[in-house]
Structures are given as structure tokens and as C-alpha cells.
Amino acid sequence: MSDSVAAHRLFPADPATRALAGELFAPVEHAPIISPHGHVDPLTLAEDRPFDDPATLLISKDHYVTRLLHASGVDLADLGVGGAPADPRSAWRLLAEHWHRFAGTASGYWIAEELRTLFGLTEPLAPASADRIYDAMSARLADPAFRPRALFEAFRIEVLATTDDPLDGLQTHRRLQQEGLRVLPTFRPDAYLDADSAQFDQRVHRLLDQTGHSADFAGYLRALQDRRGHFVDSGAVSADIGVLEPTTVDLDGAEAEALFARILAGRSTATERRQFRAHMLWQMARMSVDDGLVMTLHPGILRNHSTETLRRHGPDTGHDIPVTTSFAAGLRPLLERFGLVPGFHLIVFTVDETTYSREIAPLAGFYPSVFIGAPWWFLDAPDAIGRFRAAVTETAGFYRGSGFIDDTRAFLSIPVRHDTARRADAAFLARLVIEGRVRRAEAERIMTDLVDAIPRQAFKL
């Protein structure tokens, strides 16, 4: 893509709207990045080693990319999924060979933009150009200016949140903070809350051992609270929960205690474990009310759809599939108890677009505690962002949202993802102005708030 095309990337065709979108976008194009939810490994920044080869960097660790190559018939093993590729150049050639299959995809947009903006490469990826591009990237990767910390600066990242195990000591985060990088941990307790997850018992016992609490429900809750406290002390602003269903239930103490005991004794039914999950979701809200951590909720994903792929390549390898989700009834017990409590923040994400206008915007348009999570995962792409804005704004406006969340493991893709979101929002706002719905001055304020005031407020930054 030429630079002249790149300048209006993602802006609508109509000349007046396009020009206005560009004018709305200009003041935020280089605004600092606030990234309050994502999956970058903090060691990347702490160790500040040069990045690996191009394939490890852009393919192996990005399940958006490996999944579509897999769908095209490529073996995940040849891409280095679950580790570095045995032969990075071959993996890169596989991407080049199948590159036409990424046309129109979010991954395709990100990679093309990374090549253009970070590596200065605008030649189309293709079998004939694969090696040339690979070599040019390799050379650039050796440049000290391309080390993680240098890029952190160059990317203007102001806040970067990671996602961490409750038992993580968080020393890396503390050290980075001491060195002036605002890298914040996020409490991610799923594996300790879901009795159906692998090694649940061992995890719980490790949690209890490490915190020194008794092996009963009260001790378990105190242990979780302690670890949340450690996260708060280490700069965390949020706790993130991933569940299949956003169902919540308030149990009385004795009931919860008995349930917990049956589960640890290995005598629970599937229904009981489901109820336990629903109660622990409720407990996470209770703890957020106490310790102030923003609660983010990522429901509606059926994880590890292909057992054979899980066995061969591990989790997070591209076969997590969204399912039908609904929030209104499931979240009600939680919101009945905590929805009106001042200071409680619950940010709701979805991979089921039907919930935007039907449930999420109506909930966030009433409860001061509920915030609309930015488009997530499969929906983190230009058209999907446009559908999101159109679906939620007429009910809830722009100020009940979370601001953009990149949710990425791919450190290099952070700027292009935020750039995409900012452009999509500028395009949306430009249309509203051109159609006489929003005044230009309002749109200008909203545009800057979307990248700064809004995520700061939602995430208590």
C-alpha cells in the first residue's frame, strides 16, 4: 500500500466524510497508547532481548495467523505453534504462499501495516518476495532500536497491562515499574475458580499453601483476596474473568461451603460445578467492591474445540469458538447486589454481536457500574468495530464504553491495532457529523476522550 493510500486507510469513500475523518483522526494519530488489557509477557520488556526471527515474531505466537494457515491445510507444527518454528524461513514462506487468503482479514491488515510502518516494507508478500522480505526484516530485528524497550518508547505506550496467574510473585512488574515503565499486572483467576479446569485441585491447594489459609471455602476466599491484594499492591487495576456462560448466583455461606467441600472431595456433579463457577463469578464482583479492582468479563468462548489439536499443540492454538451468549438474566444476581454500588466497575466483553444492542448497551445505559467492552477477538476488525459503534451508541452513547483494548500477545501489533480502532472511530464519528447528528466540536472532544479520558475512567487509571 502506498503512503498516500495509507493516509486514508479505513476511511469511507465519500470525499467529504473521508476528509473529515482525517481531520478528526489527526490529533489522536500519535496520542499515547493506553493498553489496559492484553497478554504481552512482561519478561519481553524486562529482558529486552532482540526479537527472534520474523516467523517466530509474526506467525508462531499469533493464533489469528496460525489458525487461518491451518484452515488452509498447513500443519501447525510447521509453523512452530507451541514453540519456535524448526525452520523459520520455511514458516515464513508458508505465510507468503497463502498470503492471498489473508486479504480482507484483521490479521492481514495488521501484518501489512506492521511491515509498512515498522519495517518500511511495502512490497506485497508473495512467494517471489518472501525471502527478500524475510531478509529485510531480519536485518531490522538486529537493530538495537528494535529492542522491546526501545519500541515501548517509540510506540508511546503509557500503560500496558498484562494477564497473570494469581500466584505470580509479580517481581517483573515491580521491577519494570521501578524502572519507569507502567506495566501493570492483571489478576486472572479462571483456573482457580473453575472446578472443571485441568488440575483444579492442585491449584487450589497450592493457593491455600502459599497463602496459609485453611482448606475450606472461607479460607479459599481469603486466599483469593490475599492474592488480589498482592496484585493491587503491585499496581494492578483490574481482575479479568473468562467463563463459558456469564451466569451468576448468590449462595449463602453454608451452601457455598458444602459445595466447595464436595468439589474438593471429588464428589460433585457437573451441575454443582457449574453452580460453583456462577457463585465464584459473583464472589469476584464482591471482592472488586472491596478492593477496587475493575472486573472485566470475557465470556462466551468454547475453548479447545479440537481435542486432538489441544493434545498435539496445547491450548490457545486457534480453535476456541464463540457461542451464543446472553447477559440480562445471568448477570442479574450480581447486579442486584453490586450493580448500584458506587465505585464498582464491570466491563463486559462479548464475541456474540447480538448482545450489543439487545443487552450490553441497555445494561450499561442504566447501571453506573456496567461498561461496554470494546470489540474483542474475532470482532476486533474495522467492519466489526463499525457494527459495534452503530449497535451500542444510539442507546448508550460514547461514554459508557471501556475505550479500545488490544488484547494481544503480539507486542509488535499494539500500535497498528490501536491505529485501526482510532481510524474506525474517526470514520464513524465523521459520518455522524456529516449526517447532522453530532456537532463537529462534540466529535472532536469524543475522539480525544476515546483514547484517553474514557479508558482512564473505565479502568481507574
CA distance 329 to 432: 33
CA distance 286 to 295: 10
SS3 call for 382: helix
Q: Decide: is 434 part of the binding site for its own copies (CB under 8 A).
A: yes
Q: Decide: is 328 part of the binding site for its own copies (CB under 8 A).
A: yes
Among positions 200, 368, 444, 452, the unique one binding its own copies when judged by CB under 8 A: 368
Among positions 44, 357, 402, 408, the unique one binding its own copies when judged by CB under 8 A: 357
Which amino acid type is present at position 448?
Answer: T
Beta carbon nearer to its own copies, 121 or 351: 351
- Beta bridge partner(s), residue 238: 294
Report the nearest approach of its own copies to the CB of residue 266 (Å): 26
Among positions 26, 29, 30, 72, the unique one binding its own copies when judged by CB under 8 A: 72
CA distance 197 to 387: 34
Q: Could you tell me which stretch among 37-45, 214-222, 287-295, 299-307 binds its own copies (CB under 8 A)?
A: 299-307
Q: Decide: is 26 part of the binding site for its own copies (CB under 8 A).
A: no
Quick one: cell of 374? 470494546
- Order of strands across the sheet that contains 157-161: 33-35, 157-161, 183-184
Q: Decide: is 363 part of the binding site for its own copies (CB under 8 A).
A: yes
Question: Site residues for its own copies, window 110-149 (CB under 8 A)?
Answer: 124
C-alpha distances (whole Å) from 439 to each of 14, 25, 131, 135, 386 are 19, 16, 50, 49, 19
Among positions 70, 173, 230, 273, the unique one binding its own copies when judged by CB under 8 A: 70
Please, how many CA atoms are within 13 Å of residue 114, restricted to the half-sphere of its CB?
24
Say how many C-beta atoms besides its own lie within 10 A of residue 323's C-beta.
12
Report the nearest approach of its own copies to the CB of residue 452 (Å): 14
Report the nearest approach of its own copies to the CB of residue 358 (Å): 5
Q: Could you tell me which stretch among 40-48, 204-212, 411-419, 429-437 binds its own copies (CB under 8 A)?
A: 429-437
Among positions 352, 406, 419, 425, the unique one binding its own copies when judged by CB under 8 A: 352
Q: Could you tell me which stretch among 102-110, 139-147, 200-208, 278-286 binds its own copies (CB under 8 A)?
A: 102-110
Q: Decide: is 415 part of the binding site for its own copies (CB under 8 A).
A: no
CA distance 43 to 49: 9
